Amino acid sequence: MSRKPAYPTQPCADCPAIISMYPGRKGDRCRSCSARRMASSPEHREAVSRSTKRRWLDPEASHKLRAGIRVANQRPERREQLRQAGLKAGPDRARYVNTPAGSPARILANKRMVDTKLRWCPREYRPLYSYLRKVKEIPAPEAKAIVLAQVAADQREHQRTGRLPQTDRLGVSA
């Protein structure tokens, strides 16, 4: 049996866990209590959110992050983990996971996902958004800004003329 160095111990400030007061320890909480505390601090969350966004908006950094996630997701244990998470997410999700692309369940699941992710985008503008993303390959934040600018422009035109430009455009493209 190896002997651990005998640093003084004391209970965590928030729970009964005994923590070792090794030299250089910051704070007097156990790992999970200090994590919970940081997660509930608006300033801390704001700082984390800012640095995460900055990293993901940097094309080079986000390319690396994506590549890393893609590689990590190929590991058998990770694939199994994802599969289990899918099954746990409920019968709807399980049906979706186990059905082939193009099947009604997949089409429905996709429609629901789009409804959730594009809640900000009025229905009449979804063809425009999808054109910007898929045909023009414009990144999501820019495509969203373009669509919202179009919505604002259409609202101004509607106030001026009483016409609904978005409906006219749909009529032409249909």
Which residues bind to Zn ion, rule: CB under 5 A? 12, 14-15, 17, 30, 33
- Tell me, what DSSP letter sits at residue 4? P
Task: Using the minimum distance from each CB to Zn ion, give the nearer residue, 12 or 38.
Answer: 12
List the structure tokens of 130: 């999808």
Q: How far is the CB of 97 from Zn ion (least distance, A)?
A: 37
Q: How far is the CB of 35 from Zn ion (least distance, A)?
A: 10
- Tell me, what DSSP letter sits at residue 125? G
65 within 8 A of 57, measured Cβ to Cβ: no
CA–CA separation, 132 and 122 (whole Å)? 15
Q: How far is the CB of 15 from Zn ion (least distance, A)?
A: 3
Q: How far is the CB of 12 from Zn ion (least distance, A)?
A: 3
Q: How far is the CB of 7 from Zn ion (least distance, A)?
A: 17
From 86, 106, 88, 87, select the one nearest 96 (Cα to Cα). Answer: 106
For residue 170, give every residue at least 6 positions away whose Cβ sits within 8 Å of its Cβ, in sequence order, or none: 124, 127
Task: Using the minimum distance from each CB to Zn ion, give the nearer residue, 32 or 110.
Answer: 32
Task: Using the minimum distance from each CB to Zn ion, give the nearer residue, 37 or 95.
Answer: 37
Task: Using the minimum distance from each CB to Zn ion, give the nearer residue, 15 or 47.
Answer: 15
Helix, strand, coil abundance in the chain, percent, nearest 5: 70, 5, 30
Task: Using the minimum distance from each CB to Zn ion, give the nearer residue, 2 or 40.
Answer: 40
